[in-house]
Structure formats: C-alpha cells, structure tokens
Chain A
Amino acid sequence: MTVKASNTVKVGDTAPDFTLPSLDGDPVSLSDYRGKRVALFMWASW
C-alpha cells in the first residue's frame, strides 16, 4: 500500500507557498515574490 502525496500541482493552480533557506541561510518564501512573475526551477548538484 502506497500513500500518494496529496498535492500534485497543475497548471492553473496557485503555486503552494514555501519557506526555505537561501545559500546563506536566510529564509526565503515564494510569497515574497507576489506581484512579480517567477521562474521556479528545481535542480541539484547530482
């Protein structure tokens, strides 16, 4: 039995807000960018 994560974001949805640390450790929230258009890009060193 596998529980699926409930939130799968689709086009037309409001992007869920989050707060994560910057490279310098300062908290940054997606909602800080309200009023601007945001290109959100997920990547990793691997």
Chain B
Amino acid sequence: MPGWQRFYEENASKGIEVLTVAMDAQGAAKARPYVELAHGTFQTVVDAENVLGGMYGFRAIPNGYLIDENGVVQYEKLGGFDIRKPETAAIVNRWAEGEDLAAPQDPKAEAKDGPSAEAIALFQKGLELYKADSVDEAMVLWRQGFALDPDNYIIRKQIWAVENPDRFYAGDVDYDWQREQTAKGQ
C-alpha cells in the first residue's frame, strides 16, 4: 500500500486515480489497517461478496487493471501484481507516462478460464451465514465452493483467514504457513 500511495501522489496531477478493492469477506475492518498504515489517500472499496471475481474473471489476487479515460482496459495482470516488484512498478510508471500498453502482455491470463460461477454463488451464500454468526455452516459452503474450484484462492484463503486469525491478524501475515497449507491441499 505505501507503494500505491507514492504512485498516487506522483501521478494524481496527470489525471490518474488509484482505486483499490479489498476482497475481504470479513469487511472493511480487516482492510482498513493496511490503508491507514500507508496513509492512503486513494480510494479503497470492499468487495466482501467476491462480485468482481465473477464479473472480471479472476480467482486469485493481487490483480491490476489499468484503465483509460474512456473506461477501456489497457493492461491487465492476474496474480502477482505487486507495485513493490520492479516489473510491476515499471508497467504502472510506463502507463502513467502515457505509453500505449494496449497489447496483451500476459498470454497465460488470456488462456485462462474464468472462475466457477457456482463456487462464487456458494461463497456468497456462505457469507450470509457468516454475517449471521453461523460460521461453521458458512465454512461448509465455502469448502464446497473451494472443492468445485480448487484454484479459487479468493475462497481458499478467506477460509484460512477466518479459521486461523492468528496467522493473519496477530502481526505480519504468515506466508510460510500459507505455503504449508497449499502444499497440504488445505
């Protein structure tokens, strides 16, 4: 987030906006600390229901879409879009300078299918239960969604975060633990 704040400060005068979407089913309270830590003045919205996963066709984050003034996508990167990485920073800076990026840079992304609509529907049904404090029942539906679409890391990691808050919200996110879960097929 500090990287995005820096980018925003450097480029807002060029008519560039930064809109970040937190895909947190647990809502704004989980996302806000990251924005506050970065003193973020860019806009952040929360997509608790994973609406954009279905609408844009992704099942993992972090993702970036660079959009022109007419609303047309000039560049997209699904997964690994991290402004702390030199390659991501280079792309967003070239785009900010007005370079035409309107060529598909990521053939892998082009070939990918979208996520399972059924899995997202199960996730959304589960979220209603989660909000009604029926967490166990919610996790049953989220696991059904994950089983239908095992590559859907939005659903998968949200299960981890709800069931293992100490690995996510008690200091730094424990990425070693996440790699262990992935290896175990959890």
Please encode chain A, from 10 to 46, with 1 for each CB lying within 8 Å of some chain B CB and 0 for all others. Answer: 1111111110111111001011011111111111111
Q: A41-B4, A43-B23 are in contact. Are A15 and B63 (CB under 8 A)?
A: no
* Contact residues of B between 18 and 65, Cβ < 8 Å to A: 18-24, 26, 28, 30-35, 43-47, 51-58, 61-65
B74 at interface, CB cutoff 8 A: yes
Interface pair B173/A46, CB less than 8 Å apart: yes
**Cα separation A8 to B72 with both chains bound (whole Å):** 14
B117 at the interface (CB under 8 A from A): yes
Contact between B30 and A14, CB atoms less than 8 A apart: no
Given A4-B113, A42-B52, A44-B61, answer yes or no on A23-B44 (Cβ-Cβ < 8 Å): yes
A39 to B94, CA, bound (A): 12
| Number of A interface residues in the complex (CB < 8 A) | 40
Contact yes or no, A36 B69, CB < 8 A: yes
Expressed in whole angstroms, the Cα–Cα distance for A46 and B166 within the complex equals 11
Are A5 and B120 in contact, with the CB atoms below 8 A? yes
B86 at the interface (CB under 8 A from A): no
B135 touches A (CB below 8 Å): no
How many whole Å from A1's CB to the nearest CB in chain B?
9
Chain B residues, Cβ within 8 Å of A39: 4, 7, 16-19, 64-67, 92, 95
- Residues on B facing A (Cβ under 8 Å): 4, 7, 14-24, 26, 28, 30-35, 43-47, 51-58, 61-76, 81, 83, 92, 95-96, 102-104, 110, 112-120, 148-149, 154, 157-158, 160-161, 168-169, 173
Contacts A11-B73, A36-B17, A41-B83 known; list 7 others, CB within 8 Å. Answer: A4-B113, A5-B117, A39-B66, A40-B19, A42-B21, A42-B23, A45-B168
| A contact set with B: CB distance below 8 Å | 2-18, 20-25, 28, 30-31, 33-46
